[in-house]
Chain A
């Protein structure tokens, strides 16, 4: 019995190696480089289907496919707040066929040292695609109609105003804390499990303020259920012309969730460069422009090439590290 099992295993292995051995052995190394991409390119989304990162990756994949001439496959690997997907990409060979779309969340993971894999140390930036903003909203049935009212109330009642956001140490959470600190007020920060829960809690009057992406708040602001109080940016957003921005109120916080593509550190230069150029080309397509407009991701300039993106990583790593230190997180 055991003999037969061994025999079968060996037969299979031999069959497999003859099938694949010749194809990989006959490839000279230098022509392989010149021909990138010669097979499908994968983009790993370390978050769930339907998330902002996922939508962005899928919107990019279609025009990118046309530019590259090979299929671009988007795969979700959710879990561990972005860790599982990042570790998976790090385990794949650095051959220029596996990329990751990520957000500042992965910088935060690296600051908190939650994984052995470190975005800064193990990955290289390719392109930043979009820059979203933090929008602070309040229910129209609630206590506050404008940011000035919040500040006026909070100055007399420190810690009384409750503000909700997703995840205790996420990008949103850090940003709303920074905004409160920048405005010189003390608010009570309440973390929730998801964006939908924050919004329900606020509409139900259980918390005062919440933070949101412009696109997710738009419908409720238009229908008058929500008031958009403040946006974290140096200019007002075209889509919310009546909402003041942080910088005009003297609050120097413009951070917000962005999404960008990166690859493993030892990925061949040809692949990184090729991807960078292809993405730039794909982002010019009408298809991408249309998506950016519909998802309100055209409100702030988001594109950054590899070099600029690398600087963004450094700056933001510093910004978030300082924030963690400041709030004792």
Chain B
């Protein structure tokens, strides 16, 4: 059996099933008395908070390599708490610092996981922290 056969087999079935699924949805859509507007159901998929939340976590995962674990995590927790409508500023700052540090101690110190250090001065700082 060649390397292409299995994926082709899977994709073949997948296409048939997706076609069936589209056919089903159309049939269902036609039957519905109050025809739903597709743009609305599409819109409900991307309500505002979802987009912002996705962007925050997406950016977080992208900056990890450059800003390092410590800085990007502090920023991430602060921002995500804001998204979850947390109003108390001091509470947010304290939480982001404490959570970042606790996880850092568990994973980097106890479990020896080399969390991303970032680049430039952030790397130096992370290395400094590791020697403590």
Contacts and interface: CB of A to CB of B under 8 A. Distances in A.
Interface of A: 1, 4-5, 8-9, 12-13, 16-17, 19-21, 23-24, 39-40, 42, 73, 75, 93
Contacts of A21: 121
B71 A16 contact: yes
Contacts of B79: 5
Contacts of A17: 121
Interface string B78-116: 110010000001000100000000000000000010100
A40 B112 contact: no
Contacts of B128: 19-20, 23
A16 B130 contact: no
Interface of B: 71, 74-75, 78-79, 82, 89, 93, 112, 114, 121-125, 127-128, 130-131
Contacts of B75: 5, 8-9
A24 B114 contact: no
Contacts of B93: 8
A35 to B, nearest CB: 15
Contacts, number: 38
Contact of A39 (B78, B122, B125, B127): B127
Contacts of A40: 130-131
Contacts of B89: 4
Q: Which 10 A-B pairs have the closest CB atoms?
A: A20-B124, A20-B125, A20-B121, A16-B125, A17-B121, A75-B114, A24-B124, A16-B121, A19-B125, A12-B71
Which of B74, B79, B124, B130 lies at the interface centre, i.e. has the most chain A CB atoms within 10 A of its CB?
A: B124
Contacts of A73: 112
A16 B124 CA distance: 9
A12 B78 CA distance: 13
B131 A39 contact: yes
Contacts of B74: 12
Contacts of A13: 71
B52 to A, nearest CB: 13
A13 B131 CA distance: 21
Contact of A23 (B122, B123, B124, B130): B124
A24 to B, nearest CB: 5
Nearest to B75: A9
A8 B93 CA distance: 9
A9 B130 CA distance: 22
Contact of B82 (A1, A39, A42): A1
A39 B79 CA distance: 35
Nearest to A13: B71
Contacts of A20: 121, 124-125, 128
25 contacts: A1-B82, A4-B89, A5-B75, A5-B78, A5-B79, A5-B82, A8-B78, A8-B93, A12-B71, A12-B74, A13-B71, A16-B122, A16-B125, A17-B121, A19-B125, A19-B128, A20-B125, A21-B121, A24-B124, A39-B127, A40-B131, A42-B114, A73-B112, A75-B112, A75-B114
